[in-house]
């Protein structure tokens, strides 16, 4: 781990990466960055428009550049997009440059948390539950492959998850 002062949150959409990341950064007095927000800031457009104009392939290329840049920074809490782990280079950078925390949540919980969110291009389908199950089947092994810690988020408030993470940071490695 080249950058032990940084924490990278991974997991599916609806796991709470951004909400938990903000609170964790505040508690640890670190900078919080959301990789999806960073992509939007750099391009000047929202993610659904990137998907519309460039497809998922174009978005993933932009995401790879942002993940490479952000994981090289020191003392940050980074919330990644749910699909960031699909790219082997992203997995390599995340695993090598900080502490990777997988925020695990069930598909049922994801459905509840994303039901009214129109900013999720992959869920604009007639069967969002089926899509989330398919995504989880592909991504779950990748999340676990690079995770230093797995934290369950189902039925937990964000502050409780942050407390779990803070307790883990205090334990000797």
Judge whether 139 lies within some domain. Answer: yes
Between 83 and 119, whose confidence is greater?
A: 83
Judge whether 58 lies within some domain. Answer: yes
40: domain CATH number is: 3.40.50.300
Number of folded domains that form the chain: 1
Judge whether 39 lies within some domain. Answer: yes
Helix, strand and coil content of the chain, in percent to the nearest 5, comes to 60, 15, 30
Helices 88-97 & 128-146 angle (0-180, nearest 10) = 50
Judge whether 97 lies within some domain. Answer: yes
Instruction: Give the pLDDT confidence of 158-170 residue by residue, as tens digits.
Output: 999 999 999 988 7
Judge whether 140 lies within some domain. Answer: yes
Q: Helix, strand or coil for residue 104?
A: strand
Instruction: Give the pLDDT confidence of 3-55 residue by residue, as tens digits.
Output: 458 999 999 988 889 999 999 999 999 999 999 999 999 999 998 899 889 99
Name which of 90, 99, 94 is nearest 24 in CA terms: 99
Q: Using pLDDT thresholds of 50, 70 and 90, give the confidence band for residue 109.
A: confident
Is the separation of the CB atoms in 59 and 50 below 8 Å? yes
**Count of other CB atoms within 10 angstroms of residue 88:** 10
Give the range of the structural domain holding residue 77, as residue numbers without chain letter: 7-167
Q: Using pLDDT thresholds of 50, 70 and 90, give the confidence band for residue 112.
A: confident
Judge whether 173 lies within some domain. Answer: no
Judge whether 1 lies within some domain. Answer: no
């Amino acid at each position: 781990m080249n950058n032990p002062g940084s924490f990278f949150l991974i997991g599916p959409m609806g796991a709470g990466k951004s909400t938990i990341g903000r609170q964790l950064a505040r508690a640890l007095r670190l900078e919080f960055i959301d990789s999806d927000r960073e992509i939007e800031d750099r391009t000047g457009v929202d993610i659904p428009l990137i998907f519309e104009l460039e497809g998922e392939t174009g978005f993933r290329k932009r995401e790879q550049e942002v993940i490479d840049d952000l994981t090289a920074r020191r003392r940050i809490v980074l919330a990644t997009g749910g699909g960031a782990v699909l790219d082997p280079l992203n997995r390599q950078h995340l695993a090598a440059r900080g502490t990777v925390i997988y925020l695990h949540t069930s598909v049922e919980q994801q459905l509840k948390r994303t039901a009214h969110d129109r900013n999720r291009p992959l869920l604009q389908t007639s069967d969002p539950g089926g899509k989330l199950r398919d995504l989880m089947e592909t991504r779950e092994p990748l999340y676990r492959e690079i995770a230093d810690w797995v934290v369950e988020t189902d039925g937990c408030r964000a502050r409780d998850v942050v407390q779990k993470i803070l307790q883990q940071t205090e334990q000797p490695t």
